[in-house]
Amino acid sequence: MSDTTKRPSMLAAMFTMKCPSCRRSRVFVNKSILPFEQMVVLKDECEVCGQQLKSEKNNGGGINYALTMILFFLNLCWYWPIFGLSYKDNSVYYYLATSITVVLVAQPYLMRLSRMIYLYLYVSFGDSRRVEVKE
């Protein structure tokens, strides 16, 4: 099987922040989340396939909210068996403080991941919008 027909894994490409169309080029301007002011800035188009990456409403805010709520639930899944939750003591407040800390630390990555999920929902693999010039 040649390299051009090999289909890259969708989940691996999504979590490594690659283009949804070709799954080879990076989507964000900066590789890391630093500086925070530019952590979610997308490139205008893919360098490899020419897929347009910016749209008018490409912020994925609803997906970010859903990921945050999922993270709160996952924190409950590990916190409750280890420490327990009760209304009789302050364990609910400790759980909330722990969950808020985890969500705040993970928020930059969740913001980028929500943009990637949004892109992967609306751009299919191999759906390049580059106009090829015929010679």
Render pLDDT for 19-69 as a digit per residue (tens, 0 to 9). 888 888 899 998 888 888 888 888 888 888 888 887 656 567 788 899 999
Asked whether the predicted pLDDT for residue 2 surpasses 80, the reply is no
- For the stretch 117-133, pLDDT in tens is 888 888 777 655 543 43
Model pTM? 0.76
126 DSSP 8-state letter: T
Q: Where does residue 89 rank: exposed (0-12), middle (13-18), buried (19+ CB within 10 A)?
A: exposed
| Structure confidence at residue 99 as a pLDDT band (50, 70, 90) | very high
- For the stretch 69-89, pLDDT in tens is 999 999 999 999 999 888 888
Contact 49, 130 (CB under 8 A): yes
